[in-house]
Amino acid sequence: MFLFLVVALAVVVAAVTLAVVGGGENGPLPEAAPDRLTDSLPLDRPVSRADVDGLRIPLAARGYRMADVDDALSRLGAELAERDARIADLEAALAGARAVAAHLSTEKPAARPEGEQR
């Protein structure tokens, strides 16, 4: 009985192997195309919150594809650095405008009371 089960198991394993490798009626299994990042971040405009929320990185055999994750993170990092530089420029311009306004307000002569003439 034990010998019969071993032979039956060997026949089943051989049949499955032949079916997968190419012995089946439809030939070998077709190559599966790897998932690629389809919701890429837009190149023609800055990245918005909706773009980040809609970003879905496809799964690979052992997690996520490193290239897709690296591309998305580098793009987001570049966008954040650009925005930080823009914010710093705007804050510097605002501080300069406030300094000029404060300087101009101290240079104005004091208002004379009504009724007083030169």
Q: What confidence tens digit (pLDDT) does each residue in 62-85 have?
A: 778 888 888 888 888 888 899 999
**Whole-prediction pTM:** 0.50
Q: Checking DSSP bridges between strand 59-60 and strand 63-64, what pairing results, if any?
A: antiparallel
Q: What average pLDDT does range 42-62 have in this prediction?
A: 79
3-state SS string for 41-106: CCCCCCCCHHHHHHCCCCEECCEECHHHHHHHHHHHHHHHHHHHHHHHHHHHHHHHHHHHHHHHHH
